[in-house]
């Protein structure tokens, strides 16, 4: 029995007049009777099928537009990377044991962010080999753990995209996990962390910190008012959860937190690297130095700023204030203290991980309720779930409609 005959059998089970479908679907039954009533039913049936298929196609189209796949490293390279990190895309899926020209630069990246110790120093300059050796594989595994990635030990797509994404210049190492972090580590590697020694601002509570902007290291395309507004919003997010307040001052020299936009080597041993790459850095308590890379295209309103490489100022400010307060990087991707941030992305809401981390240092603001944040996080997770099941629900509805129509024929 051929496929056509099988189709006919199927339709015989659900239609009143199987010969009609046999004629359409199976040319092996040309002798089957075809009446005018049958033809009318047939046309009606396929009209419904066509209409429903079209609706389903529209659903699929809207879904695919709403959730486009992540760009490949090469796509990212043209839009979101600085020149140095752009070159790393050639190491995608490089196997262990391979010897690839320039791999030493990728190892320097791992060294810079706290994952690889140098074996060789030439005139105090750290150098690495171009071999994907066992030590480098261990560094990749550690990096994947700290960045909340699947721990494959390979330079897979997710890992390469994360490596090449713009990020904070602070190292991911030299951290001092909290007791809560260590407890969580038994079950998962995802948690907040502190700088080594767990430094914090130690003045008596309630702590009031002043902040000021460098009069010399500014941007010429944003007004002082715009920059100050972005920072005021960022400071307010932290002040809402801990008993620490912040106030602006014009006295840059005596301020607790000193903020400025700097280019390249600016004298603190952590030179900036041009467009994207490292976006900024801030020192641990009670240093207060807070530097942003003046080469970035900083945005205070992404709907107005059209640059493909624009970086949201308030998002980075909120992250760096976390460092000023004593938080190191988190491996929770949604957390403010996660080290990387894609261009044209606004990410300013503190997550439970951030709040738990900073409250373990300073205690809770009496006006803040952690339960409300839990609800907020659950709500955002629920929104994602709803989006993912939206298509399934509608598809089932369409299938039910189709069955009802067929049964009524």
Nearer to Zn ion, 93 or 268 (CB): 268
Q: Residue 358: which residues within 8 A CB-CB, separation 6 or more?
A: 238, 241, 242, 322, 325, 326, 327
Q: Is 168 annotated as a binding residue?
A: yes
Nearer to Zn ion, 168 or 207 (CB): 168
Q: Is 377 annotated as a binding residue?
A: no
**What is the footprint of Zn ion within residues 170-189 (CB under 5 A)?**
170
Binding track, positions 310-349, relative to Zn ion; x by CB under 5 A: ----------------------------------------
| # residues near Zn ion by CB under 5 A | 5
Cα dist from 371 to 183, 234, 313, 356, 376, whole Å: 21, 21, 29, 12, 9
175-165-216 Cα angle (round to 5): 80
Q: Name the residue among 39, 13, 36, 9 with its Cα closest to residue 22.
A: 9
Nearer to Zn ion, 142 or 270 (CB): 270
Q: Looking only at Cα atoms, what is the longest distance across the chain?
A: 98
93 belongs to the binding site for Zn ion (CB under 5 A): no
Nearer to Zn ion, 22 or 332 (CB): 332
**What is the footprint of Zn ion within residues 290-309 (CB under 5 A)?**
291
- Strand arrangement, sheet containing 257-262: 244-248, 207-213, 257-262, 289-293, 280-282
**What is the footprint of Zn ion within residues 218-277 (CB under 5 A)?**
268, 270
The answer to whether 334 is a known catalytic residue is no
Q: 279 exposed, middle or buried (CB, 10 Å; 0-12, 13-18, 19+)? A: buried
The residue from 79, 320, 334, 375 that is catalytic is: 320
Q: Is 93 annotated as a binding residue?
A: no
Q: How far apart are CA 140 and CA 131, in angstroms?
A: 13
Q: How far apart are CA 298 and CA 224, in angstroms?
A: 13
Q: Is 291 annotated as a binding residue?
A: yes
| Smallest separation, CB 201 to Zn ion (Å) | 18
Chain residue whose CB lies nearest Zn ion: 168
Nearer to Zn ion, 294 or 373 (CB): 294
Taking each helix axis from N to C end, the angle separating 18-25 and 3-14, rounded to the nearest 10 degrees, works out to 150
> Annotated active-site positions, please?
320
Residues at the annotated binding site? 168, 220, 256, 266, 268, 273-274, 281, 291, 293, 296, 319, 323, 329, 337
Residues at the annotated binding site for Ca(2+)? 220, 256, 273-274, 293, 296
Residues at the annotated binding site for Zn(2+)? 168, 266, 268, 281, 291, 319, 323, 329, 337
Interacting residues with Zn ion (CB under 5 A)? 168, 170, 268, 270, 291
């Amino acid at each position: 029995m051929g496929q056509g005959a099988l189709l006919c059998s199927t339709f015989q089970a659900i239609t009143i007049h199987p010969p009609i479908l046999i004629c359409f679907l199976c040319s092996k039954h040309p002798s089957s009777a075809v009446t005018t009533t049958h033809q009318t039913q047939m046309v009606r049936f396929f009209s419904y099928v066509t209409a429903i298929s079209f609706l389903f196609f529209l659903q699929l189209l809207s879904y695919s537009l709403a959730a486009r796949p992540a760009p490949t490293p090469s796509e990212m390279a043209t839009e979101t990377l600085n020149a140095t990190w752009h070159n790393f895309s050639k190491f995608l899926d490089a196997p262990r044991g391979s010897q690839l020209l320039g791999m030493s630069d990728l190892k320097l990246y791992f060294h810079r962010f706290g994952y690889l110790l140098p074996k060789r120093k030439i005139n105090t300059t750290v150098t690495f080999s171009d071999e994907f050796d066992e030590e480098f594989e261990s560094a990749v595994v550690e990096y994947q753990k700290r960045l909340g990635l699947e721990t494959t030990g390979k330079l897979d797509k997710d890992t390469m995209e994360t490596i090449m994404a713009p990020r904070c210049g602070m190292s991911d190492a030299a951290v001092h996990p909290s007791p809560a972090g260590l407890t969580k580590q038994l079950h998962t590697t995802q948690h907040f962390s502190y700088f080594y020694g767990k430094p914090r601002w130690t003045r008596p509570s309630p702590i009031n910190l002043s902040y000021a902007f460098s009069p010399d290291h500014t941007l010429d395309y944003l007004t002082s008012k715009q920059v100050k507004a972005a920072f005021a919003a960022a400071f307010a997010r932290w002040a809402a959860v801990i008993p620490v307040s912040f106030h602006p001052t014009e006295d840059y020299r005596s301020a607790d937190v000193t903020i400025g936009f700097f280019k390249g080597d600016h004298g603190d041993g952590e030179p900036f690297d041009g467009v994207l790459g490292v976006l900024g850095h801030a020192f641990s308590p009670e240093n207060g130095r807070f530097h942003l890379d003046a080469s970035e295209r900083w945005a205070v309103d992404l709907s107005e700023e059209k640059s493909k490489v624009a970086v949201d100022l308030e998002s980075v400010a909120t992250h760096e204030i976390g460092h000023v307060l004593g938080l190191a990087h988190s491996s929770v991707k949604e957390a403010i203290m996660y080290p990387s941030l894609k261009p044209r992305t606004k990410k300013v809401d503190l997550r439970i991980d951030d709040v738990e981390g900073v409250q373990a240092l300073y205690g809770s603001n009496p006006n803040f309720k952690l339960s409300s944040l839990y609800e907020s996080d659950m709500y955002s997770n629920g929104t994602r779930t709803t989006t993912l099941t939206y298509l399934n629900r509608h598809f089932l509805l369409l299938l039910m409609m189709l069955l009802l129509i067929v049964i009524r024929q």
